A = this chain, B = another copy of it.
Amino acid sequence: MNTADLGLPVDVPSTALFTDHYELTMLQAALRAGTADRRSVFEVFTRRLPEGRRYGVVAGTGRVLDAVENFRFGAGELGFLRERGIVDEPTLEWLASYRFSGDIWGYPEGEVYFPGSPILRVEGSFAECVLLETVILSILNHDSAIAAAASRMASAAGERPLIEMGARRTHELAAVAASRAAYVGGFATTSDLAAGFRYGIPTVGTSAHAFTLLHDTERDAFRAQVDTLGEGTTLLVDTYDVTEAVGLAVEIAGPGLGAVRIDSGDLLLVAHRVRDQLDELGATQTKIVVTSDLDEYAIASLAAAPVDAYGVGTQLVTGSGHPTCSMVYKLVARAESGDPKAPLRAVAKKSMGAKSSVGGRKWAARRPDERGVAEAEVIGTGAVPAPLVDHQLLVELIKGGTVVAREPLDAVRRRHTEALAGLPLSATQLSRGEAVIPTEYLVNTHG
């Protein structure tokens, strides 16, 4: 399915230009040098988790599959490249018929990852793989950063639902991807209509202060809202005086009022006061929704407060301090010639310390201890040791250019819950720490 054909508002006709200039000039040089056809293996991984984080969350894989399918150079793209003189004519011709025909394996979306985990493995000719670097990294670096923050917030919130409402705090299309990633990480709903449209995520909304201010009195505003949206609506009660507003809200909607939203002040204190007041008024089932620059720590600090749902904006879409991951896309093995049967050879940058990589086409497995709890992320090249065969992490996503592993977002969301449940309990501690399991390498240097 080419989603662009559906005319959805959040897709684009082609993803081919979400690409760094140098991918195309490297392509031109490799085509000219006769090295472009060498079978190559690129891997996506990160050298470290964001400081203090105990695990990462793979998100965006489904979007990567769409992006690879839609990576096509049409007349518009080619005309631009020609006019700017970015690549030469033989390269333009090559691009005109570009379709990724290789294989992609990866951690299934929603899985957790650790330093070194080969989250995605892209295999094909150098030429067809190198072009995908930028767009694959854009998607995985963004979406995984949001999902990781969402996952921590969901742990902090426990059984209480989280509402994603950060659209106004990030790029309008990043917001749609952020809603998707938040859902993967455990959020229940979003305020973003485009995310509802594109991904089927349930959308919800309350009311803004502007709506109250539009009306001559708060009473008029509440009446207007309840009249058309029903008693089950959520009334915003902090435009003027919270106590008066809560009284008015129950007077107008009755004790069946759905919820009240508190968006300012000391949420802990105010929530307790509002709960008491609601209960006294007989509105014992009316829920309390809190919003206002919440992050996972603020959510956790409200655990004992009578709060029923959290709305999270800024801190979600900015990854709660870590708006991007540091995933890279590295050539780890390549053939010695363009012959499709030529053996692969492990390669790696050997220069200055911090940026060196482990060469070779890798497998990964999460080794459980005797109770079934993960105790290590094992990454290796060559044969997989027998005890690890059933614990391998990479699955086939694209086979010979065809997507073979599309799945519904709810399945991805469930997978994340299960993956988290398989980690040591300390994984979900909010305090700063190291990766909750170590990464071990079993590297066969003959790759």
Residues of A within 8 A of B (CB): 7-26, 28-30, 32-33, 35, 38, 40, 42, 67, 76-77, 80-81, 84, 86, 88, 126, 130, 133-135, 137-139, 141-143, 165, 167-177, 191-194, 196-197, 203-211, 213-216, 220, 223-225, 227-229, 233, 238-242, 263-265, 292, 314, 317-318, 323-324, 326, 329-331, 334, 336, 347-352, 354-355
Contacts and interface: CB of A to CB of B under 8 A. Distances in A.
Contact of A348 (B213, B227, B228, B354): B213
Given A28-B228, A193-B86, A216-B336, A138 B172 contact: yes
A246 to B, nearest CB: 13
Contacts of A314: 324, 326
B7 A172 contact: no
A313 B263 CA distance: 35
B20 A165 contact: yes
A174 B170 contact: yes
A192 B16 CA distance: 11
Contacts of A177: 171
Contacts of A88: 228
A388 to B, nearest CB: 28
Contact of A205 (B10, B11, B25): B25
A175 B135 CA distance: 10
A18 to B, nearest CB: 4
A211 B26 contact: yes
A21 B193 contact: yes
A352 B18 contact: no
Contacts of A9: 12-18, 76-77
A33 to B, nearest CB: 3
Given A193-B86, A205-B25, A18 B239 contact: no
A174 B142 contact: yes
A167 B18 contact: yes
Contacts of A170: 138, 141-142, 174, 323-324
24 contacts: A11-B12, A18-B167, A18-B172, A18-B193, A21-B196, A21-B205, A23-B208, A24-B205, A25-B229, A26-B207, A32-B227, A32-B228, A35-B215, A80-B196, A84-B196, A134-B168, A137-B169, A138-B167, A142-B172, A170-B174, A170-B323, A209-B349, A264-B352, A317-B324
Nearest to A196: B84
B194 A17 contact: yes
A238 B172 contact: no
Contacts of A348: 213
B355 A214 contact: no
A7 B208 CA distance: 36
Given A20-B168, A38-B214, A214-B38, A224 B32 contact: yes
Q: Which residue of A32, A130, A196, A213 has the most chain B CB atoms within 10 A of its CB atom?
A: A213
Contacts of A292: 355
Contacts of A23: 205, 208
A174 B142 CA distance: 10
A326 B354 CA distance: 35
A89 to B, nearest CB: 12
A69 to B, nearest CB: 14
Contact of A80 (B28, B169, B197): B197
Given A197-B17, A323-B323, A139 B172 contact: yes
Q: Which residue of A32, A80, A168, A223 has the most chain B CB atoms within 10 A of its CB atom?
A: A168
Contacts of A264: 351-352, 354-355
B7 A76 contact: yes
A209 B331 contact: yes
